[in-house]
Structure 1
Amino acid sequence: MSDRKFHSGIDYSLSILQEKWQPTLVFWLGFRPLTLDELRQLVPKMSGDELKAELAKLQNLRIANPIKDTENCYSLTEDGKDFRQMMMSLSIWGKQQMNDNENKRSVLVIEPETDAKLSELIKYNKPLRDYINYDE
């Protein structure tokens, strides 16, 4: 992505949002700090090498912290948290517009508690797919 010339801030932001796994990783990393093993369980379709490569990309973009915390967890930078908030607002707005255009009722989706067990978070992937670019 670094070789591409961007024409606007929207163009740059969309290049991140259109990546296959980055929106999903941004969502989970902003939810709470997570270990590599937890991320593998939350995004089981990614191989370990693919996950590490995507984390490195997010670190290079200054979205994910370049080092793990003392618990050996990955997390978002302050800019990454801002990006996640924008991404979530955009995804909710877009899903509501899609539903309105199809005369469907939008379902209110609430994020799980930050202390939820991993098994509960894994179940959250299903509704999450409707809101972000998630290819399971």
Structure 2
Amino acid sequence: MTEKKDLCGVGYTLDVLEDKWQPRIIYWLGFRPFSIDELQQLLPDLTAVALNDELASLQNLRIVNPVKNNEGKYSLTEDGNDLRNMVVTMGVWGRQQMDDSADKASAQIVEPEANASMAELIKYNEKLGKYL
């Protein structure tokens, strides 16, 4: 991934985002820092080995901080937060276009509170799947 040196900036970004799990990892780590166990709860279809691989890849791309915080949690770098903002914007725009093409009214999506419980965040995943 992203090893093609002749890509334009948009192509490079899309190469990062074409991975099934990286947009979701970027979304959640920009929401608030999470431990590996919490990330596994939020991404239950991703194996522990695959999650570690995805995190390592995102760390190599300087999207996820290479060092966990004092509580042993992962977070995004400043560049990662910038990318997250674009990912969310793209997801909302894409969903609106899909709904418009199907003559449906788009539902408004609102992020949970930053202090939401893991149970609330896991439930939110159902809505998030329509956007990312």
**TM-score normalised by structure 2 residue count:** 0.97
C-alpha spacing 1:71/1:107, structure 2 compared with 1 (3 Å) = same
What displacement does 1:22 show?
A: 0.2
| Superposed displacement of residue 16, structure 1 | 1.2
Q: Following TM superposition, by how much is the alpha carbon of 1:2 offset from its aligned partner in structure 2, in angstroms? A: 4.4
What's the RMSD between the two structures over aligned residues? 0.9
Structure 1: state its 5+ residue gaps: none
Letter in 1 for 2:39: L
List aligned pairs for 1:1-136, cutoff 5 A: 1-132=1-132
Alpha carbons 1:6, 1:12 under 8 Å: kept? no
Query: What residue identity is the alignment partner of 1:131?
Result: Y
Q: 1:20: how far off?
A: 1.3
TM (norm. structure 1) is: 0.94
Question: Cα distance, 1:5 vs. partner?
Answer: 3.0
Q: Any idea what the Cα deviations from partners look like across 1:116-136, whole Å, max 9, x if unmatched?
A: 00010000111101001xxxx
Which whole-Å CA distance do the structure 1 matches of 2:61 and 2:39 have between them? 19
Instruction: Tell me the alpha carbon deviations over residues 29-66 of structure 1, each in whole angstroms, 9 at most, x when there is no partner.
Output: 00000000000000001111110010000000000000
Q: Residue 92 of structure 2 contacts residue 131 of structure 2 at CA under 8 Å; is this kept in 1? A: yes
CA distance in 1, matches of 2:2, 2:96: 33
Query: The residue matched to 2:56 in structure 1 has which SS?
Result: helix
Aligned mates of 1:40, 1:31 — CA distance in 2: 15
Higher relative CO (Cα under 8 Å, sequence separation at least 6) belongs to: 1
**SS of 2:84 mapped into structure 1:** helix
SS at structure 2 position matched to 1:124: helix
The runs of 4+ residues in structure 1 deviating greater than 6 Å are none
Structure 2 residues not aligned, in runs of 5+? none
Which stretch of structure 1 is more off in the superposition, 4-13 or 29-38? Answer: 4-13
The alignment of Structure 1 onto Structure 2 pairs a total of residues equal to 132
TM-superposed deviation, 1:7? 2.0
CA distance in 2, matches of 1:13, 1:81: 14
Identity of counterpart residues, as a percentage?
Answer: 50
